Amino acid sequence: MTKRTRALLGSLAAAAMISFAPVAANADGYWQCVPFARLMSGIQIFGDARTWWSQAAGKYDTGSVPKIGSVLSFKPTARMNLGHVAFVSQVLTDRVIQVTHANWSIIEGDRGQIEKDVTVVDVSPEGDWTQVKVWYDPIRDLGTSVYPTNGFIYQDAQATKIAMATSKIAMAQNAVVSAAKQAANQVAASVRSSPLDIIGQAADSTDRIAALIEAAAGGGSSSNDTNKQNAPR
């Protein structure tokens, strides 16, 4: 087994372990909006997103003016019956903000993804942030739906400290998981097998996986290529 093959195999194993094992508050890089908003903002409210506004009463200040670090609370709708919460990462104008939130757009076929600094626009008649449109990644534009919102839940001093201590960890963790997934998928694609298949094969024969990776990297032919040696390249 060549050094190059050993290195590739080691990278695959590490990537697979990170990609398919639960990681802290999320499993396999899947995030719900509530734990992510809590982690980013430090606002210690638990339960479904639709309950955050009522739970905030008497614990946190609330209002209709967007502030960096606050959480925008969405009302439940027929299509979104649990509501939604989004961390305000930038305030661009009095009617345009950017949020960093989780489990909104379907990205590359997957739910539970984190979107950083995406646009939300106040479209309410009174300009009081009671109705908004939100960036939707599949169409690369603001979505056509109008969502009713309660307003903003503001951080207090304790929440700010918690957010500073945890938000960078959350984003870094998500980046690591995404990179690991990409690495595993790239190697898997090159050997025409999924990461889970590779892990299963590795349990039976490490040398077999090494041979497949070496073949994909141009270092030789796997047994699956035996009957294709005379095919045009």
My answer on whether 51 and 131 are in the same domain is yes
45 found inside a domain: yes
My answer on whether 132 and 171 are in the same domain is no
* pLDDT surpasses 60 at 99: yes
140 found inside a domain: yes
Q: What's the confidence (pLDDT) of residue 14?
A: 39
My answer on whether 217 and 139 are in the same domain is no
My answer on whether 130 and 45 are in the same domain is yes
Q: What's the confidence (pLDDT) of residue 170?
A: 61
With cut-offs at 50, 70 and 90, classify the pLDDT of residue 159: confident
Q: What's the confidence (pLDDT) of residue 158?
A: 78
pLDDT, tens digit, for every residue of 175-213? 665 666 566 555 555 555 555 554 454 444 445 444 444
228 found inside a domain: no
Average pLDDT over residues 25-35: 78
My answer on whether 43 and 114 are in the same domain is yes
pLDDT, tens digit, for every residue of 130-148? 999 999 999 999 999 999 9
Task: Please give the residue range of the domain that contains residue 42.
Answer: 31-155
Domain of residue 90, CATH code: 3.90.1720.10
Q: Of 47-61, 109-123, 153-167, 213-227, which range is least confident?
A: 213-227
* pLDDT surpasses 70 at 109: yes
36 or 227, which is more confident:
36
The total of structural domains in the chain comes to 2
Q: What's the confidence (pLDDT) of residue 227?
A: 34
My answer on whether 64 and 122 are in the same domain is yes
My answer on whether 108 and 139 are in the same domain is yes
232 found inside a domain: no
My answer on whether 136 and 164 are in the same domain is no
Measured in degrees and rounded to the nearest 5, phi and psi for residue 122 equal: -75, 120
Residue 67 tokens read as 């502030």
23 found inside a domain: yes
My answer on whether 170 and 209 are in the same domain is yes
My answer on whether 212 and 147 are in the same domain is no
Q: What's the confidence (pLDDT) of residue 134?
A: 98
* pLDDT surpasses 70 at 35: yes
35 found inside a domain: yes
My answer on whether 35 and 146 are in the same domain is yes
* pLDDT surpasses 90 at 20: no
* pLDDT surpasses 50 at 222: no
* pLDDT surpasses 80 at 69: yes
Distance separating alpha carbons of residues 88 and 71, to the nearest angstrom: 6
Q: What's the confidence (pLDDT) of residue 179?
A: 63
Identify the domain boundary among 128, 155, 182: 155
Long-range Cβ contact pairs of 81-84 (< 8 A, separation 24 or more): 81/50, 82/48, 82/49, 82/50, 83/48, 83/49, 83/50, 83/51, 83/52, 84/33, 84/49, 84/147
227 found inside a domain: no
233 found inside a domain: no
